[in-house]
Structure 1
């Protein structure tokens, strides 16, 4: 098929078509690229994992779903009339940086993905991958010699338990890994770090970004939420960070809802609710599938996860706690407990395309795994992702055609 020629150095997620593009040579598909990116070919897995984080962001956050709906409307109009409409207000504002803020919604999205890169691969490994990457110049922040000296001094470390799971890392290693994101992508995290300390920043950052991406104006909202929460949270060192995210989720949710009502006069919706109400649910095959899989994931959580796994007050109905838990997992999507099995079983990206055009239909791979049996699949009712890849590739070709026509 035609379309824009893709450079082998480009990695991206295309929200309107849901395609994860990886500018690397094709290799046989392996689910461990998502389930255990630090253990299976990390230089490749880190790219697949990072772009998959973007996939989860765009199916799980209200503001981003509305942005895709706006782009989808432009594409549908072009497909019918061959006329190219200008980008909508959300698309125009996505990369716009207000001088008084210093970063954009796009920077928030990238900072959130970077945060989970660091958590999933571990700071030392990610730092080493950055130092070894031929297309990254990080010498102004950290040289190889400086890094090796810090390691020798015992300042860079990441501990693992007997199962190979990361259970802690030095504050310096995490800080360096975030800063090596380069440019403005680290600014949202550094903004919070300046107002608190490394522990509270790591606990609050993903939750604050998560709820900001549900809001009307994510960058403004993030700063306002950080200012509201920074002095209210106290955490003891030595506590697992996963416990802090779980414990703080509901409190941050409530503060975020109050703040959104104060700033904009309305509550915000979760991504699951927004997809259901969106034009994407009616017209877009991928987002319709995503809503189905999110509903199945929520049902799986309610029926198969122990009560202590669910977030929210214990007196709340289990169905509501399951909805909150799914929203929490989408916000904290880099945790191993989030990915396996809940996110991977139900929301693995349907298409991962490599430089030469060959693809992984990784969603269909996960459809075949045992824990997917909670989705009712028969010959007459195949898994929701079956056959979806071709439809999304066709959407991607139309999107590229529109971009080329506008040049």
Structure 2
């Protein structure tokens, strides 16, 4: 016999009262966000992609710049990839912005430049999954579609004591079923945004603010005192560690040598200092044997060293110490990068997909987050030298 789900026990009156209380709270407490000034599906689409695994406070400036650079779907579809990546620089997950442009081209070709207004057609667009489709459909077009992300699953799992593991793809169907029972079909956009705001500011992963929760009286987990036991989530596998040495090479024109990554794969077409992957043991040895010495003049004391053989292709004299370590976590990888500084008296012949650039020109190039961290690390050493 199939166990009765808790959301099926709500009658029509309870659902309607719940919706009324929740929407009233949202109208009083909703966050003032730039993509909420209207129901433009383009703005909603871009904001929702940006907000994936990124804090609202971080996204706001990116959103303003993106809308300024690409005010219409047509502008986005026709933008050069380099400018598109520059607009996204620092947000990470660059496949997302490439997918956005591919979808913009679809919209231009198949829908006369306008976002389609049916959930089925929205789903057909490149890079738009169930959550983003639900957000666009409900907020922009008033479609009674759930928009289920981590915040929403946390709220709904506590509301009904749902024990399904949210880390499993199969659990989404459970939450979709529950949401279709409770969503306000007259105000689906406001209802979904209320869940987003509640999960972000009140129904937090740890230390939920149950005392100020507008739907406390409906929350089954709260009534049982088990709210911190939800949602159920199995542990995610730790990202694989990868180790690199990075070479910040400066010539006598105060230019730095940069390499462009391959056209496909992680950080495609983006610019970095030359990188070489090493084993964990090699990395540890270079970190120890070329360790910092605060008594050393950071830029003037350089020397050739036969042991430094990892960048033999570059005619460079290396600083006899590393400039520190930076780390960066991708969804499946954790990069450890040890930064070395070297100087060359000439601009040696560039390899393919490489160039020399002055420090003030870095802002015109598309850097991934690890490279931005390396530049910051280089600047810290410069500051210490000046001090």
TM bin, normalised by shorter chain, reads under 0.3
User: TM-score, length-normalised on structure 2?
Assistant: 0.24
Give the number of the structure whose residues are more often strand, by fraction.
2
Higher RCO, Cα 8 Å, sep 6+: 1
Greater Rg over alpha carbons, structure? 2
TM-score in terms of structure 1 length? 0.24
